[in-house]
Structure 1
Amino acid sequence: MEAPEAAAPAPVEAESVRAVPATSIKGPRTPGFLQGVQLFASPTKFMRSCRDKFGKRFVLKIFPQADLYVLTDPVDIKEMFLAPRDVLHTGQGSAALEKYFGQTGLAWLDEKEHLNRRKQLMPSVKGGAQKRVEAAITEMAKEAVASWPRGEVLSLRPYVHKFTIEVIREVVFGKHVPSNWPQLFDAIWDMLKLNDSVTTMIETHNMSPLGVRTMRAIKPLGLDKFFKDRDRTDALLAEAVAERLDSGEPGDDMLAVMLNIKREDGSPLSATELRDEIMTMFVAGTETTAGGICWALEHLTRHPDKLEKLTKEVDEGTDDTYLTATVHEILRLRPPNPQIIPREVVKPVVLNGVRYEPGDQLWASGYLLHTDPDVYPDPDEFKPERFVGVKPGAYTWIPFGGGHTRCLGDRIAIIETKEVLREVLTTCELRRPDPREEAPTSRTVTMTPKRGAKMALEPRRQPVSG
């Protein structure tokens, strides 16, 4: 399932004569605002319709300041991932999320700054820290699933999302849980409610102070409440950091790692940098994984043969081959982050025969790549078997992005999903009165089941012995 071999992007001078300009790429002619609304309301339907009409490359106008070129071909995506750091930047690609985690964290950094920060943070999600978090996830999944309601048809997403927030607490704070964690959890939870609304896509940092005040005055938009919740979150997080500094406790958690980072001049990270990096984790590291877990439950309850096969493997407890394949297939079919962070062209570049100019935005669509029949036969079918004994390709399976900006916590997210599924299937039977497929809906840049994986967890009936 790997993409065809592709070399690194060719020097523009050598290829520009043969390359076609990006301006020749077609796209919908509807107003950019309407395109953005369509993308948020019906992400898969809108993107599929564009690919069907315009092909594997098309251009959107949802950014007023630049054209957004959607790439769905494995060769295009591979060459984009291989582009040098000084050719494509990702910082502005997180603009819709800036209101949550600012502009000083890893998601906003490029080139040497991004490389250095990534290396500095790596010890908090790999090695011994990863093993600690994975062990904690197993116990946390048992406790969480045991606390979820039984016998009641409801949306599981809020329960799953709260679990993923607790996992990120383990990543960020480790065993040194802040004394104000209950209050901090509530503040984070309240702040993330804005993601239920299209308002979350408003790039408030690009607005004038008067514009922001005007938007806050329109109470139904939810921005005023969001900013109040954010202020409360920031204050509680500052208390938690100060408490850890006072304790002087070491550790391999993310906060301990960040408190030990020193710049070339010997100065530590600022309070703003600490805040932005931590909030990046509590936003990006929870919304996506919660979406993936919900999609897994949604698909399994519509495919009883797959559910039975997976349950049998879980019961036997000797292998997790099919469980791993199920998670890989879910992340293929319903990547929670359907389009990865856009790359801004800062130097002219030729990718797969197309020349892009500075200011252009390149958007690799994992969803369209993953549902391309040229890459995956029967792409709309839920078939975990396609990943049994098969490692996902780096350029044909990109739920965690790729290249310089692949998600740091990809392994942790997969473990979370596997452990929740394992615990649910061990202790519960899934009852879904409404068998209709749940349509995807957007939460900022993520995609989640519209009804939130609505079903009932029933206490599992143990088989009668002998």
Structure 2
Amino acid sequence: MSTVNTPAREAVPATSLPGPRSPMLYQGLKLFRDPASFMRTCRERYGKRFELKIMPKGSTIYVISDPDEVKAMFLAPRTVLHTGNGSAALEKFIGQTGLAWLDEEEHKARRKQILPSIKGDAHKRIEASVGEMAERIVATWPRGEVVALYPYIHRFTIQVIREVVFGKAVPSCWDELFEVVWDMLSLNRRISSMIETHTMSPFAVKVLRAVRPLGLDRFFKNRARADALIAQAVRERMDSGEFGDDMLSVMLGITREDGSPLSAVELRDEIMTMFLAGTETTSAAICWALECLSREPAALEKLVAEIDAGQSDTYLTGTVHEVLRMYPPTPQIIPREVMKPIEIGGVRYEPGAHLWASGYLVHHDPEIYPEPDRFRPERWEGVKPSAHTWIPFGGGHTRCLGDRIAILEMKAVLREVLSTCALHREDMKPEGPRSRTVTMTTRQGTRLALRPRADRADRADLAGHPAG
């Protein structure tokens, strides 16, 4: 048995942990509709670790939110905890051969191979492109009318991932691929996105596709078209011989020990992983940032002053850290499946169980963050986020590869929006959270009006109060 920490007393079995006894479907619906409230209620009733029954086939998932236990989970050997099966609900998007699905040495090797496409010179290229895109794309967003900003923000993040994946050699089919991917991702609004269709018989999937409100038939048609367009983009790149430091170029240069390259399926799965994971999370984070700032006039005033001065991004960095603390886009880290018995925090978890670290609960623990429900970017002044108490990007072996790119995007959009517009909202009531498969975004899509700033020195409307 793997022992990550030595318990003070004999370990208790995980099956003894408390948790709601309501039916699996009910728990799943509650979690999908209001993830924050559901998880906080469970913590209040059952403590910092508890059992949920939201997985099919009788699997049990155990939520942990004590930082020491989260750290132990992150540091567990690769052979003891696997993450691949934790992405099962996303399989319909990302397939089973990409980084998100791999474990142990396969995951370690693939991660190392892909890193050059987001680090070093590649990161500098992406950073310059993100700034240019923010200036150009934000200028096209509606002005003066209250709209849900989420669709505009999400489309921006897809364009950023295009830069990451394809670099400057944009495929000729990009416009169509963009729209197909955009339509595919709309499935995440529906609870049907959680259905693990890859575990079902072809007949069962056919029946589900016939139920049009589920959106699965449209999704699978889009997926087939996306696969064809990605294959076309790969052929174009190989025929052109134009290789750089973008992700596609890097992946085309990967070879196994026997000299064979990645397969077409592996290329497709990695690319779709980026278009899912690299856009859903960042767009949610940007939406939360604008939602918070539109209700916090003092913080907004201070941030706009810093942006206008153009000499520092200290408060902007604190704002980003605070948004990601209060509203981590992936509020619960991808579950780890127990492969070998393990003890964490005096609890023994057996193979087949799943561990689920709740970043949301860690981030809202008053023992770690005083007044956790207050938006206070100042709390980050001179403070570096801890790897085990600030976990919006996960941690351990599978920490998000694109964390620095996500922060770049958040900063670029906030700079561009706030340097050119004042935020106005009709209703100061906070937007609650809602799920988009594994992410958590604003329930109404961040409904705001962007009003052009006639005078950069004029702060009169920056507080976002409703018009009189």
> Which TM-score tier does this pair reach, normalised by the shorter chain?
over 0.9
* Structure 1 residue 11, shift from structure 2 partner: 3.2
Deviations, residues 197-256 of structure 1 (Å, cap 9, x unaligned): 111111100111110000001111110011001111111111111100100111000000
Corresponding residue for residue 290 of structure 2: 297
Corresponding residue for residue 278 of structure 1: 271
**1:25–1:319: structure 2 CA closer, same or farther, 3 Å change rule?**
same
Corresponding residue for residue 60 of structure 1: 52
Given that 1:86 and 1:111 are in contact with CA atoms closer than 8 Å, whether structure 2 keeps it comes out as yes
Corresponding residue for residue 6 of structure 1: none
Counterpart amino acid of 1:56? K
Aligned pairs, how many? Answer: 457
Given that 2:69 and 2:345 are in contact with CA atoms closer than 8 Å, whether structure 1 keeps it comes out as yes
TM-score by structure 1 length? 0.96
2:370 match: secondary structure: coil
> In structure 2, how many angstroms separate the alpha carbons of the residues matched to 1:404 and 1:56?
23
Corresponding residue for residue 14 of structure 2: 22
> In structure 2, how many angstroms separate the alpha carbons of the residues matched to 1:16 and 1:390?
32
Query: Which is further off, 191-200 or 161-170?
Result: 191-200
Counterpart amino acid of 2:94? F
2:139 match: secondary structure: helix
Match among 326, 336, 341 for residue 334 of structure 2? 341
Query: Which is further off, 231-240 or 394-403?
Result: 231-240
| Shift >3 Å, 4+ stretches | 9-17
Given that 1:12 and 1:348 are in contact with CA atoms closer than 8 Å, whether structure 2 keeps it comes out as no
Given that 1:291 and 1:449 are in contact with CA atoms closer than 8 Å, whether structure 2 keeps it comes out as yes
Corresponding residue for residue 400 of structure 1: 393
Match among 402, 407, 416 for residue 414 of structure 1? 407
* Structure 1 residue 64, shift from structure 2 partner: 2.7
Unaligned runs of 5+ in 1: 1-8
Corresponding residue for residue 115 of structure 2: 122
Counterpart amino acid of 2:343? V
> In structure 2, how many angstroms separate the alpha carbons of the residues matched to 1:47 and 1:420?
30
> In structure 2, how many angstroms separate the alpha carbons of the residues matched to 1:78 and 1:321?
28
> In structure 2, how many angstroms separate the alpha carbons of the residues matched to 1:464 and 1:98?
50
Counterpart amino acid of 2:85? Q
Given that 1:89 and 1:343 are in contact with CA atoms closer than 8 Å, whether structure 2 keeps it comes out as yes
> In structure 1, how many angstroms separate the alpha carbons of the residues matched to 2:208 and 2:262?
33
> In structure 1, how many angstroms separate the alpha carbons of the residues matched to 2:6 and 2:92?
41
2:361 match: secondary structure: helix
**1:24–1:262: structure 2 CA closer, same or farther, 3 Å change rule?**
same
Match among 22, 35, 40 for residue 43 of structure 1? 35
Deviations, residues 75-109 of structure 1 (Å, cap 9, x unaligned): 11000001000000000000111000100000000
- Equivalence map 1:313-328=2 (5 Å): 313-328=306-321
Corresponding residue for residue 445 of structure 1: 438
Determine if the alignment matches structure 1 residue 186 to structure 2 residue 179: yes
* Structure 1 residue 70, shift from structure 2 partner: 0.2
Deviations, residues 417-460 of structure 1 (Å, cap 9, x unaligned): 00100000100111111111001000010000011110100111
1:106 match: secondary structure: coil
Deviations, residues 137-169 of structure 1 (Å, cap 9, x unaligned): 000000111010111110000000000000000
2:144 match: secondary structure: coil
Match among 259, 262, 265 for residue 269 of structure 1? 262
Report percent identity of matched pairs.
65
- Equivalence map 1:87-106=2 (5 Å): 87-106=80-99
> In structure 1, how many angstroms separate the alpha carbons of the residues matched to 2:124 and 2:347?
43
> In structure 2, how many angstroms separate the alpha carbons of the residues matched to 1:221 and 1:250?
40
**1:446–1:38: structure 2 CA closer, same or farther, 3 Å change rule?**
same
Given that 1:216 and 1:224 are in contact with CA atoms closer than 8 Å, whether structure 2 keeps it comes out as yes
Match among 83, 101, 113 for residue 106 of structure 2? 113
Determine if the alignment matches structure 1 residue 11 to structure 2 residue 30: no
Given that 1:165 and 1:286 are in contact with CA atoms closer than 8 Å, whether structure 2 keeps it comes out as yes
Counterpart amino acid of 1:28? P
Given that 2:210 and 2:217 are in contact with CA atoms closer than 8 Å, whether structure 1 keeps it comes out as yes
Given that 1:337 and 1:446 are in contact with CA atoms closer than 8 Å, whether structure 2 keeps it comes out as yes
> In structure 1, how many angstroms separate the alpha carbons of the residues matched to 2:456 and 2:100?
49
Determine if the alignment matches structure 1 residue 163 to structure 2 residue 150: no
* Structure 1 residue 18, shift from structure 2 partner: 1.6
Deviations, residues 318-353 of structure 1 (Å, cap 9, x unaligned): 000000000000000000100010000000011121
Given that 2:82 and 2:339 are in contact with CA atoms closer than 8 Å, whether structure 1 keeps it comes out as yes
> In structure 1, how many angstroms separate the alpha carbons of the residues matched to 2:3 and 2:44?
31
Match among 357, 362, 365 for residue 358 of structure 2? 365
> In structure 2, how many angstroms separate the alpha carbons of the residues matched to 1:192 and 1:372?
32
Determine if the alignment matches structure 1 residue 81 to structure 2 residue 81: no
Deviations, residues 58-79 of structure 1 (Å, cap 9, x unaligned): 0000013311000100011000
2:307 match: secondary structure: helix
> In structure 2, how many angstroms separate the alpha carbons of the residues matched to 1:198 and 1:16?
42
TM-score by structure 2 length? 0.96
Aligned-pair Cα RMSD in Å: 1.4
Counterpart amino acid of 2:235? A
Deviations, residues 279-308 of structure 1 (Å, cap 9, x unaligned): 000000000000000000000000001000
Counterpart amino acid of 1:378? E
**1:14–1:80: structure 2 CA closer, same or farther, 3 Å change rule?**
closer
Corresponding residue for residue 464 of structure 2: none
Given that 1:16 and 1:350 are in contact with CA atoms closer than 8 Å, whether structure 2 keeps it comes out as no
